[in-house]
Amino acid sequence: MPPNDASKPDTRTAILEAVERVIVRDGARKTTIDAVVIESGFSKGGVLYHFPSKSALLAGLVERSVAQFEADFQLALDASVAAGEPIERHLIDIHCAPDLHKQTVFRSLLAVIAEEPELLAPARDLKRRIEARLMETSKDPVLTRIVILAIDGLMHRDLLDFSPLSETDRDAVCARLNDLTKDL
Amino acid sequence: MPPNDASKPDTRTAILEAVERVIVRDGARKTTIDAVVIESGFSKGGVLYHFPSKSALLAGLVERSVAQFEADFQLALDASVAAGEPIERHLIDIHCAPDLHKQTVFRSLLAVIAEEPELLAPARDLKRRIEARLMETSKDPVLTRIVILAIDGLMHRDLLDFSPLSETDRDAVCARLNDLTKDL
DNA sequence: GTCTATATCAAGATAGAC
DNA sequence: GTCTATCTTGATATAGAC
């Protein structure tokens, strides 16, 4: 039976879920193969059969997280487009009320990712596609870019716990961003 | 003789400079105590006398980098204020033509910092002070915040090599940011 | 495809001489 | 304040049985 057969809640997925639990619970530093082995309930040999190295394990987690984010994004985007709103607004919405769990996962991943930038490839790729779509339809590309950058800034602070904004400030910023994009 | 006596190019500084060279050259993962020992020319015991743990070593580097950044920032800021320009412009200038070496240092540090967020404290602190000063004099605090966020976004991309902007795009963005802040 | 057992290695840290 | 030598731990990865 191939490893990706969807007919059973396959081992790969179970292992990746275990990695996610460990990294969120214990942080990047303590996310070792052994910890994942314990959390997943499989043996070391079993885990290393599916992911031959720690990098492979983390790459798997990044890929999975990105795929999940993209799925959510697409769904919400379609709704947004159907409602005739500028796409920028959708991006703003997502980041002004972010998915806290996924954010924690990404934050924990950051330590690992910073050491192995190649792991970021899938995320970079998704970002490029989203931005291409935004730029394509924008009536003011530079302004759109600034809005995207401001949202990156929000994300940056969230990820690094870097002087995070108060909720009031965040709301004010998001409202203004929406205002700026209302004619795009 | 106390460790911080400025009369000789003291060992602490020499060690921190070695850390900086190692982290820039070899990346966070390879920045081990042993590597620093070799690069600095001191012995392990000597290095660990001044910095009793790896964390202490990295904390030292963060502190030093932040202090240097702040010194540069203050200098340029005073000039900017004397010229009667809005302070925001100064922040924009610094990040639109960033110091590449320092950027590399920070990027490399990021991997380590992500695992130990406490190490970021001095940087967080400096950021808070800079922003307080900006907000204090701003005629449109929300807009100022958005400009700051956009700059954070630029930095974020630089730090993570996350879809970096082309030079043309970056220039266009910076020009527009300057335009947005001209009445602040 | 999953298991046990084990090899290998490098890192952080300590002790004590000089 | 700096050195050498050594200890301890814990992590990645392999080999081979089931």
Number of C-beta neighbours around residue B167 at 10 A: 8
Give chain C positions with protein CB within 7 A.
1-6, 10-17
Mutant choice from B62, B92, B115, B135 vs A, greatest count of A C-beta within 10 A = B115
Sorting pLDDT into bands at 50, 70 and 90, what band is B125? Answer: very high
In a domain? residue B5: yes
Q: DSSP for chain A, please give it.
A: --TT-TTS--HHHHHHHHHHHHHHHH-STT--HHHHHHHH-S-HHHHHHHSSSHHHHHHHHHHHHHHHHHHHHHHHHHHHHHTT--HHHHHHHHHHS--HHHHHHHHHHHHHHHH-GGGGHHHHHHHHHHHHHHHHH-SSHHHHHHHHHHHHHHHHHHHHT-SPPPHHHHHHHHHHHHHHTTT-
- pLDDT number for residue B4: 45
Asked if B19 and B106 sit in the same domain, the reply is no
Any CB–CB contact under 8 A between B126 and chain A? Answer: no
- The answer as to whether B117 is a domain residue is yes
Q: Say what the pLDDT of residue B106 is.
A: 86
CB B88 within 8 A of CB B144: yes
The string of pLDDT tens digits covering residues A49-104 is 999 999 999 999 999 999 999 998 898 888 888 998 888 988 898 888 888 888 88
Give me the pLDDT at residue B112, please: 77
User: Which residues of chain B neighbour A117 with C-beta distances below 8 Å?
Assistant: 160-161
- pLDDT at residue B183, rounded to an integer: 85
The spacing between the Cα labelled CA in B63 and the C1' in D9, in angstroms, equals: 30
* Residue A98 falls in which region: left (phi positive, over 0), alpha (psi -120 to 50) or beta: beta
Among residues A62, A48, A60, A166, the alpha carbon closest in space to that of A108 is found at A62
Per-residue model confidence (pLDDT) at position A42 = 95
Residues A36 and A72 in one domain: no
Q: Can you give the pLDDT at residue B164? A: 86
**Are residues B18 and B75 both part of a single domain?**
no
Do A99 and A126 fall into the same domain?
Answer: yes
Residue B162: its pLDDT value, please? 85
Q: Average per-residue pLDDT in chain B?
A: 89
| Percentage with pLDDT > 70 across chain B | 95
B57, part of any domain: no
- Band (pLDDT 50/70/90 cuts) for residue B9 is low
Confidence category of residue B150, pLDDT binned at 50, 70, 90: very high
Question: In which domain, by residue range, is B37 found?
Answer: 1-52
A177 pLDDT more than 60: yes
Q: What's chain A's length in residues?
A: 184
Query: What is the tally of structural domains in chain B?
Result: 2
